[in-house]
Chain A
């Protein structure tokens, strides 16, 4: 693996809210990297720092110590405007409650990050439609979010997260509002985007969903306390009947 395969690197990242005796440490010296083709799940009890890790990794909040490096860029070194550009071009967020804009169609929702980046809507529609096709919703492009099921809305959100070749997907409990079968479908989509060369962080408290990741890191009190890495070849496959 080369350095260019590393999409995201957290280097000794700490995050503290407040000062003095009332200060709360949300992250304490976290080292974590995500490579191309890798899905990393983050698990931990409420308050363990999972969501903070995601907002720091996504450049939404600067850490109080340590460095976040996205595709080779040190976020602390970037002026605000360049940071915003990097966020738009490299990072895609997926939230539990989808965060789609209700007055825009699925296609317009997916086009939006590109349009914010200066693309004309006409030019943005083609990659947006490509992204919708990837999540098998090309035929729903003109539907409004209210016409789509929860699972379909989350797939639109995944399309928006990867549109225009954005390579790092940051998902915070993306299956939290979905039933078990629909949640599995959404994870299958997320997994296939990662297998196609993206990278991702999946924050979840659901063990069965975290199991889709290549690596699972466990957070406790803002620290990574352990890690589970799936072995490349599983002995169980030998049981598969022809």
Chain B
């Protein structure tokens, strides 16, 4: 999970306390995914349980510092050196919506696509404006923030392209007489184990 690894990576620069970690995470990611302090402390508890951080000094203001262990540093190196694997199991709300919509009777799927396209393009316009307002980064924080904005821009662009592609695919399918709605299956699946068929019994 990236929050856990991100906090660990920040701690690899030196001991921090909870609020400080939150501020460091926010300023390095353009406050795009703000964390609450509860999440920070929960994560720190788990990191301590796993032997990746340990409690350090308490300063004059009563701040409880946490420092990284050798095992924690090794995990940071491991995180930076390995790819992020995006699992197929992550549900994509929009893909599910289109897939279901195309099987339903009476749904104007072209309109569903257009409504989404307009929303996606509006997001892309706002991101582009935001990016253009900054032009060239003047600090490391701005550079990090621009990387996040770029990532959102490319994700929105990919979504717009996928919508275009879906529209073409749908038009071709319609021309070929496909894209008919799926009626409910009258052979309702039974609960429990599927019954043994004769073929299965012979095998």
Binding site for B on A (CB under 8 A): 43, 45, 188, 191, 205, 207-208, 210-213, 216, 218, 220, 225-231, 234, 236-242
Q: Which of B119, B121, B145, B157 contacts A240 (CB 8 A)?
A: B145
Q: Which of A188, A211, A237, A238 contacts B121 (CB 8 A)?
A: A211
**A234 and B124 contacting across the interface, CB-CB below 8 Å:** no
Nearest to A230 among chain B residues (CB) is: B125
Nearest to A213 among chain B residues (CB) is: B125
**Alpha-carbon distance between A211 and B125 when the two chains are bound, in angstroms:** 4
Chain B residues, CB < 8 A from A234:
126, 129-130
Chain B residues, CB < 8 A from A210:
121, 124
Binary contact track B54-86/A, C-beta < 8 Å → 1, others 0:
000000000000000000000000000000000
Chain B residues, CB < 8 A from A45:
164, 167-168
Q: Which of B157, B164, B168 contacts A208 (CB 8 A)?
A: B157
Interface size on B, residues (CB 8 A): 37
Flag whether B122 is at the interface (Cβ < 8 A).
yes
**A207 and B160 contacting across the interface, CB-CB below 8 Å:** yes
Flag whether B149 is at the interface (Cβ < 8 A).
yes
**Alpha-carbon distance between A191 and B128 when the two chains are bound, in angstroms:** 12
**A230 and B129 contacting across the interface, CB-CB below 8 Å:** yes
Binding site for A on B (CB under 8 A): 27, 30-32, 110, 114-115, 117-122, 124-130, 132-134, 139, 141-142, 144-145, 149, 153, 156-157, 160-161, 164, 167-168
Chain A nearest CB, measured from B121 CB (Å): 4
**B122 and A229 contacting across the interface, CB-CB below 8 Å:** yes
Chain B residues, CB < 8 A from A228:
118-119, 121-122, 125
**A218 and B118 contacting across the interface, CB-CB below 8 Å:** yes
**Alpha-carbon distance between A228 and B115 when the two chains are bound, in angstroms:** 10
Chain B nearest CB, measured from A220 CB (Å): 8
**Alpha-carbon distance between A210 and B161 when the two chains are bound, in angstroms:** 12
Chain A nearest CB, measured from B27 CB (Å): 6
Residue of A210, A213, A231, A240 with most chain B CB atoms under a 10 A cut-off = A240
Chain B residues, CB < 8 A from A226:
114-115, 117-118
4 smallest beta-carbon distances between A and B, as pairs:
A241-B141, A207-B160, A230-B125, A211-B124
**B32 and A216 contacting across the interface, CB-CB below 8 Å:** no
Q: A207-B160, A208-B153, A208-B157 are in contact. Are A218 and B114 (CB under 8 A)?
A: yes
**Alpha-carbon distance between A180 and B157 when the two chains are bound, in angstroms:** 13
Chain A residues, CB < 8 A from B110:
220
Q: A213-B125, A231-B126 are in contact. Are A237 and B30 (CB under 8 A)?
A: no
**A211 and B127 contacting across the interface, CB-CB below 8 Å:** yes
**B126 and A241 contacting across the interface, CB-CB below 8 Å:** no
**Alpha-carbon distance between A45 and B114 when the two chains are bound, in angstroms:** 12
**B114 and A225 contacting across the interface, CB-CB below 8 Å:** yes
Nearest to A216 among chain B residues (CB) is: B121
Nearest to B130 among chain A residues (CB) is: A236
**B121 and A241 contacting across the interface, CB-CB below 8 Å:** no
Q: Which of A225, A230, A238, A242 contacts B139 (CB 8 A)?
A: A242
Residue of B119, B130, B161, B168 with most chain A CB atoms under a 10 A cut-off = B130
**B126 and A207 contacting across the interface, CB-CB below 8 Å:** no
**Alpha-carbon distance between A225 and B108 when the two chains are bound, in angstroms:** 13
Chain A nearest CB, measured from B131 CB (Å): 9
Residue of A229, A238, A239 with most chain B CB atoms under a 10 A cut-off = A239
**Alpha-carbon distance between A207 and B167 when the two chains are bound, in angstroms:** 15
Nearest to B28 among chain A residues (CB) is: A241
**A236 and B126 contacting across the interface, CB-CB below 8 Å:** yes
Chain B residues, CB < 8 A from A241:
27, 30, 139, 141-142, 144-145
**A240 and B124 contacting across the interface, CB-CB below 8 Å:** no
